[in-house]
Amino acid sequence: MNIKNMVENKAKAAKAASWELYKLSTARKNSLLFGLAAELKANTGNILKANALDMASGRKAGLSASLLDRLLLNEKRIDLMAAGLKDIIKLKDPVGTVFGQERRPNGLKVARMRVPLGAIGIIYEARPNVTIDAAALCLKSGNAVLLRGGSEALNSNRALVKILKQAVKKEGLPLSCVEFIDTVKRSAVEVLLKQDKYLDVIIPRGSQAMIKFIMENSSVPVIAHGEGNCHVYVGPAADLKMAAEIVFNAKTSRPSVCNAMEKLLVDKRVAKKFLPVILDRLAAAGVEIRADKLTKRIFKNAKTATEADWYKEYHDLVIGVKIVGSLAEAIKHINAYGSHHSDAIVSSDKAACARFLREVDSAAVFTNTSTRFNDGFELGLGAEIGISTQKLHARGPMGLTELTSSKFIVTGKGQVRK
């Protein structure tokens, strides 16, 4: 197999198909997604067989529990994928929306129109559900998609792409609306990153090492899905019962995902009352506690946190805990050590909450709720393509609108420029 030719041909085909999607009606796009949901349900058995092969290989390779959790598909997760498609169908199609209208002094009418980005490359690891989520969001927003999943999920992704293509074919659209790089060779990614002639953007989802490599080597524009070193700060005016529920949910509900809490900051005025309760509860749930010196005086079973811990995204049942002297110190710590992803304050002090919302420089900032809500579906966007921590084009969960660009549309009555 000539990897270079294979990847280039798939990128070229996706770009050609994107022009068909560019002009596709909302009704046709929704019909495609409805058919895809039906195909998923009808092929559940085939998907599970393929995923079982990946899970067996993952266990043999010694993948961590968190990675195996990301890799796993079962009937419930397939049902959720199908339900997610139906949620996307219900969402308003942004393509063709006209906004920002104004009339210039010379009589020209100036506005902007939402348009698809074109052909999108998605590079991701481990999670096969991304195959469906990413493709569905791209198709609904009028974009063709070129998928490159991780080697861990190769069998699962093959099965899901086959289903995607069946749905595309039944709708009478070009099969290259969805393309898949069916190889585990790293050289395929290196070639993909140079397809700026055909791809309009690349969106990576995976480890920071992978994303860093892509950003440093791509000639195609990249929208990065950032790591989630997420914080919850419990202030002196917090309802401590509420704080305990938020902290426990943010850490333990699904520790492998990017919006899980990794660091707990507690104000010194409530530390002695709050920390023994919450840390005992977390430890009982299997969470490893890594703490600063002040916290260790209160909770002696904690391990000592290193400087590197404050920067780390664990993806596991591990938490860093620090006592801080003030709201200002908490904000400073989050902005210095965090990944600008998801951070929360628990406090009944409205002024403190307002300051936290204003000064914490993250893609999503929360008051009195869990960081786990930084999710496209939970925030009303439908399934997301990723959570961007960048500041250009898109920030936070990327739904349909974030997969479009805009063009100026100008209407005149014979005006000429002097």
* Structure-token pair, residue 120: 């999108």
CA distance 6 to 231: 43
Please indicate, yes or no, whether residues 175 and 110 belong to a single structural domain of this protein.
yes
Please indicate, yes or no, whether residues 136 and 200 belong to a single structural domain of this protein.
yes
Please indicate, yes or no, whether residues 200 and 259 belong to a single structural domain of this protein.
no
The residue type found at 261 is M
Short-list 180, 128, 185, 182, CA closest to 152: 128
Please indicate, yes or no, whether residues 35 and 92 belong to a single structural domain of this protein.
yes
Residue 390 lies in a domain: no
- H or E element, residue 19: helix 3-22
In the chain, how many domains are there?
2
**Which residue, chain included where needed, has tokens 């010196």?**
293
CA distance 33 to 47: 18
Please indicate, yes or no, whether residues 216 and 73 belong to a single structural domain of this protein.
yes
Residue 379 lies in a domain: no
Residue 381 lies in a domain: no
CA distance 172 to 91: 23
What's the sign of the alpha-carbon dihedral 332, 337, 341, 344?
negative
Burial class (CB in 10 A: 0-12, 13-18, 19+), 17: buried
- CATH number where 57 lies: 3.40.605.10
Cβ atoms of 15 and 198 within 8 Å: the answer is yes
Residue 60 lies in a domain: yes
Residue 301 lies in a domain: yes
Please indicate, yes or no, whether residues 241 and 321 belong to a single structural domain of this protein.
yes
Q: What is the DSSP letter of 225?
A: B
Please indicate, yes or no, whether residues 407 and 312 belong to a single structural domain of this protein.
no
pLDDT tens, residue by residue, 26-55: 999 999 999 999 999 999 999 999 999 999
CA distance 43 to 411: 49
Residue 79: give the domain boundaries: 3-223+398-411
pLDDT tens-place values along the chain, 418 residues long: 699 999 999 999 999 999 999 999 999 999 999 999 999 999 999 999 999 999 999 999 999 887 898 899 999 999 999 998 998 999 999 999 999 999 999 999 999 999 999 999 999 987 899 999 999 999 999 999 999 999 999 999 999 999 999 999 999 999 999 999 999 899 999 999 999 999 999 999 877 788 889 999 999 999 987 789 999 999 999 999 999 999 999 999 989 888 999 999 999 999 999 999 999 999 999 999 999 999 999 999 999 999 999 999 998 999 999 999 999 999 999 999 999 999 999 999 999 999 999 999 999 999 999 999 998 878 877 667 878 887 778 888 888 999 999 999 999 999 999 8
Q: What is the mean pLDDT of the chain?
A: 94
CA distance 36 to 34: 5
The confidence score (pLDDT) of residue 317 equals: 95
The confidence score (pLDDT) of residue 394 equals: 83
Please indicate, yes or no, whether residues 135 and 259 belong to a single structural domain of this protein.
no
Residue 195 lies in a domain: yes
Query: How long is the chain?
Result: 418
The residue type found at 410 is V
Please indicate, yes or no, whether residues 202 and 339 belong to a single structural domain of this protein.
no
Alpha helix stretches (DSSP H) within 101-226:
129-140, 154-170, 186-192, 208-217
Please indicate, yes or no, whether residues 212 and 239 belong to a single structural domain of this protein.
no
Residue 158 lies in a domain: yes
- CATH number where 295 lies: 3.40.309.10
Question: Which long-range contacts (C-beta less than 8 Å, at least 24 apart) are formed by 132-136?
Answer: 132/36, 132/40, 132/81, 132/84, 132/85, 132/160, 132/164, 133/81, 133/84, 133/383, 133/384, 133/385, 134/203, 134/385, 135/164, 135/178, 136/33, 136/36, 136/84, 136/85, 136/88, 136/383
Please indicate, yes or no, whether residues 296 and 215 belong to a single structural domain of this protein.
no
- pTM comes to 0.83
pLDDT tens, residue by residue, 209-258: 888 899 999 999 999 877 899 999 999 999 999 999 999 999 999 898 88
Please indicate, yes or no, whether residues 152 and 265 belong to a single structural domain of this protein.
no
What's the sign of the alpha-carbon dihedral 149, 150, 151, 153?
negative
Q: Is 29 helix (H, G, I), strand (E, B) or coil?
A: helix
Residue 315 lies in a domain: yes
Cβ atoms of 400 and 114 within 8 Å: the answer is no
